[in-house]
Amino acid sequence: MNHSKIFPSIKSFRQKTLDPFIDPELIFSQVGQKTYSALLCGKGNRDNARYAYIGINPFLKVKHNGTKATVNFHNRDTIIACDPFQLLGEALNFYPLKTYPRPLSLWGAIGYLSYDAAHFIENLPKTTLDDLNMPIMEMVYYQDLLIFDYQQKIVFLAQVDIGDGFNDPDDFQALFKKRTGALGNYAVESPKSCCREEEYVSLIKKIIDYIKKGDVYEVNLSHRFEAQYHGDPYGIFFNLFQINPAPFSAFLNFGDSIIISNSPERFLKADGDQVETRPIKGTICRGKTKEEDRKNRLLLAGSEKEDAELSMIVDLLRNDLGKVCDYGSVRVREHKRIEGFSNVWHLISIVEGRLKKDESYGSLIRACFPGGSITGCPKIRSMEIIDELEKYARNLYTGMIFIGNDHHFDSSIVIRTIIAKTNRLYFNAGGAVVYDSIPKREYEETLEKVQSIMKVLL
């Protein structure tokens, strides 16, 4: 069933330039307290962190709670029963932007899709405890979207008229004159894991037993941390971004849940029919000295274990893309790129393909979701084992955060991410387990991955 009639039409679009260029995390400090404001930003290589976005003044909100969807336009709700992937695809495709010049053509919806949306793709067990009760999917369209071009050092204001005129661009220019807002303080109790070290090690040993029996080759296992906090959650994001400006960072003030993401990993990107995914597999901590840091980098590059982890997931993602891409177009453009972050080195590969003419971004997402790098190989059996061994439902963790429209889409894997909800913080740490994993070392690696988060919270 096509639900596109429930989406409001847009009368017209326009684009303005704002100046001077100021980093988006500074500008967002003035508007981030507004419910359903959104920030996507990050730094890194030129090919994965060129643009940042700030969404202000939402006019359309789409939410799926696992049983039904709510489409809210100007505070009026329409309730429908539908598949979240179908609804996501319809919403992305509803507003045609491909005829507009860049960066106006980058205007689109900002939102997230929960890991648990996988239950709409496969018949998976569901025995984990879901105590957060987050929506399966939320996405928001904005009347005003600030687009920051890091390369050209230009800020654009993309605006839409939904029938009552455009908002005054001078109101947004005033943000740049003020430059930054006041950052609130926060206090956090020491985060506690739901799983002690010995418990986590025993779970890893169970996975290795499954591997020995031939059930799987690799499983991504995680454990959840929780802490009470008071104060300004944007202060947490800002401080985290200062010490680790990860390329797929995000702050989504989505009402009941506030999302603070410091993700290094792209999930899916699409420009027209050209698509790519960038799985991360392989991690080692940064050294305390230049010599130790160089040594660790070389150890990661030469590790047969880490290479095997990455290669397995690359093959899995080639297969996923092959479901919706032209035959012969799927290829590995780059294998085992090493990227450095404040606390770890990572191995990254780039897999690309050309989307078939009869496929859409909705079907692309369905074919690849959730990302193989955070499930395992083979994917379905790995997800069954994840449900068996992890205590809590993952909710947003290892889902995706995205911005997209009918011809451009970009998204991240939700890792290194905090959920702030009712004065409590929740975040997960995990890693891939393979045949020759050393259980204690795998546990230590999970702590290395959230080192930046711990540094900011404690």
Task: Report the candidate in 348, 299, 313, 354 with the shortest Cα–Cα distance to residue 331.
Answer: 354
Q: Which of 25, 90, 218, 265 is catalytic?
A: 265
Per-residue pLDDT of the chain in tens (458 residues, 90 and over written 9): 566 678 888 999 999 999 999 999 999 999 988 999 999 999 877 788 899 999 999 999 999 999 999 999 988 899 999 899 999 999 999 888 888 888 999 999 999 999 999 999 999 999 999 999 999 999 999 999 999 999 999 999 999 999 889 999 999 999 998 888 878 899 999 999 999 999 999 999 999 999 999 999 999 999 999 999 999 999 999 999 999 999 999 999 998 899 999 999 999 999 999 999 999 988 888 998 999 999 999 999 999 888 988 999 999 999 999 999 999 999 999 999 998 888 888 999 999 999 999 999 999 999 999 999 999 999 999 999 999 999 999 999 999 999 999 999 999 999 999 999 999 999 999 999 999 999 999 999 999 999 999 999 98
| Annotation says 16 is catalytic | no
pTM of the prediction? 0.95
User: CA 377, CA 365: separation in Å to the nearest integer?
Assistant: 18
pLDDT for 204: 97
Q: What is the CATH number of domain 4-179+194-457?
A: 3.60.120.10
pLDDT for 4: 63
pLDDT for 3: 62
User: CA 187, CA 230: separation in Å to the nearest integer?
Assistant: 5
Q: State residue 77 phi and psi, 5-degree precision.
A: -95, 140
pLDDT for 177: 87
CB contact at 8 A, 231 and 186: yes
CB contact at 8 A, 402 and 394: no
Task: Report the candidate in 258, 440, 185, 454 with the shortest Cα–Cα distance to residue 342.
Answer: 454
* Domain residue ranges in the chain: 4-179+194-457
pLDDT for 238: 96
| Annotation says 339 is catalytic | no
Tell the burial category of 173 from Cβ atoms under 10 Å away from its Cβ (0-12, 13-18, 19+).
middle
Q: Which of 281, 379, 421, 449 is catalytic?
A: 281
pLDDT for 41: 97
User: CA 115, CA 218: separation in Å to the nearest integer?
Assistant: 18
